[in-house]
């Protein structure tokens, strides 16, 4: 069931999708001219995730397949020769068939501002972004608003190769402190157009802040009871945690301070002017404040269509 607080965002996205398909007609004036610049895209991804549960104790880690569907509408407005404004709305649905408490729907709006330094495709650009998203999760404790802000410096080194250096801040305000997030990250992205149809892209990033991990009760009980040493017990007894049953009866979710090394690799093929398929690999290696480690990997196949 969708939260009433999500409805205004969903309605805004639906309206954007509808007007983007309208053909301009004489006499509609400047409003119609503005609306006809809206672009719409949809994407579907199926993935297999090792250690979806972000669990430290290997024998209890949960692997599963996940499915995502997203819709996005955006509009670019040239403010002058150097400044570009972007307005957007988006929705994303996540389905985890084996663990339905992980299912969620996100919808939100975003704003971007870009400053280009110089003329031509090789000129560097500085991009600022911000977003506000509502997460309507099946697990009530994980619902809430997510605020994001970012900055990126993008430079195309030649017609087929582009680099971007960025920084991002994220905060998720949930009803339960177990699911509150405050994160900051720096990243380096690269995009290489191999041919007219093939594109290879990748990224490496470093994230610091609060993350949510999970444990079976048999392991968690040992941790808070001193079975893994006093340092772990003292820390785990001082952080927010709750029994959520996300991955089975008695499973616990807990909120820790951590650092994460993230990297991804994507290979995309353009099957038409508006459609592409993409193979994706993602790796995340998280280490928390007391040196507990959570490795996660995923492989996915995605399809994107731009209307």
DSSP 16-43: HHHHHTPPP-TT-HHHHHHHTTEEEEEE
> What is the enclosing helix (H) or strand (E) of 224?
helix 217-224
Fold category of 4-306 in CATH: Porin (2.40.160)
Q: What pLDDT does residue 287 have?
A: 97
Q: Which tokens hold the place of 185?
A: 């990250």
Residue 258 CA to residue 14 CA, distance in Å, equals 37
Closest to 185 (Cα-Cα) out of 201, 202, 204 = 204
Q: What pLDDT does residue 13 have?
A: 46
Q: Which tokens hold the place of 252?
A: 């616990």
DSSP line for 246-283: TTSTT-EEEEEEEEEEEEEEEEEEESSSSEEEEEEEEE
**For the chain, the helix, strand and coil percentages under 3-state DSSP, each to the nearest 5:** 15, 55, 25
DSSP line for 57-68: SGGG---EEEEE
Q: Where along the chain do its domains lie?
A: 4-306
Q: Which tokens hold the place of 100?
A: 């339905």
Residue 214 CA to residue 53 CA, distance in Å, equals 6
Q: Which tokens hold the place of 73?
A: 């509408």
Q: What pLDDT does residue 37 have?
A: 77
**180-232 pLDDT tens trace:** 999 999 999 999 999 999 999 999 999 999 999 999 999 999 999 999 999 99
Q: Indicate if the alpha-carbon torsion angle 121, 86, 174, 92 is positive or negative.
A: negative
| Residue 81 scores a pLDDT above 60 | yes
Give the gyration radius of the chain's Cα atoms: 21
**37-65 pLDDT tens trace:** 789 999 999 999 999 999 999 999 999 99
Q: Which tokens hold the place of 92?
A: 């994303």
| Residue 32 scores a pLDDT above 80 | no
- Contacts for 229 with CB less than 8 Å, ≥ 6 apart: none
Mean pLDDT of 112-119: 93
Residue 58 burial by Cβ neighbours in a 10 Å radius (0-12, 13-18, 19+): exposed
Per DSSP, 179 falls in state G
Weakest-pLDDT range from 72-81, 184-193, 263-272 = 72-81
- This prediction's pTM: 0.85
31 against 188, higher pLDDT? 188
| Residue 10 scores a pLDDT above 60 | no
DSSP line for 70-116: EEEEEEEEE-SSSEEEEEEEEEEEEE-TT-GGG-EEEEEEEEEEEEE
């Amino acid at each position: 069931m969708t939260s009433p607080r999500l409805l205004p965002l969903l309605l805004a996205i639906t309206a954007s999708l509808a007007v983007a398909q309208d053909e301009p007609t004489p006499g509609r004036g400047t409003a119609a001219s503005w609306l006809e610049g809206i672009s719409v895209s949809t994407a579907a991804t199926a993935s297999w995730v090792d250690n979806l549960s972000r669990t430290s104790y290997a024998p209890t880690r949960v692997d599963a397949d996940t499915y995502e569907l997203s819709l996005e509408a955006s509009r670019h407005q040239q403010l002058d020769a150097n400044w570009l404004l972007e307005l957007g709305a988006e929705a994303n649905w996540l389905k985890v068939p084996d663990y339905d408490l992980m299912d969620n729907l996100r919808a939100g709006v975003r704003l971007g501002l870009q400053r280009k330094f110089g003329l031509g495709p090789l000129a560097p650009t500085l991009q600022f972004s911000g977003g506000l998203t509502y997460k309507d999760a099946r697990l009530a404790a994980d619902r809430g608003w997510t605020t994001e802000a970012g900055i990126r410096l993008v430079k195309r080194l030649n017609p087929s190769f582009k680099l971007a250096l960025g920084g991002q801040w994220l905060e998720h305000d949930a009803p339960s402190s177990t699911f509150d997030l405050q994160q900051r990250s720096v990243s380096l992205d690269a995009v290489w157009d191999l041919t007219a149809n093939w594109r290879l892209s990748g990224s490496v990033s470093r994230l610091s802040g609060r993350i949510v991990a999970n444990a079976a009760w048999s392991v968690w009980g040992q941790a808070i009871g001193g079975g893994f040493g006093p340092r772990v017990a003292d820390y785990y007894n001082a952080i927010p945690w709750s029994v959520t049953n996300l991955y089975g009866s008695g499973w616990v979710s807990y909120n820790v301070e951590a650092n994460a090394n993230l990297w991804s690799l994507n290979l995309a093929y353009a099957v038409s002017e508006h459609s592409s398929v993409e193979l994706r690999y993602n790796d995340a290696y998280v280490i928390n404040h007391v040196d507990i480690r959570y490795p996660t990997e995923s492989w996915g196949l995605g399809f994107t269509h731009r209307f």
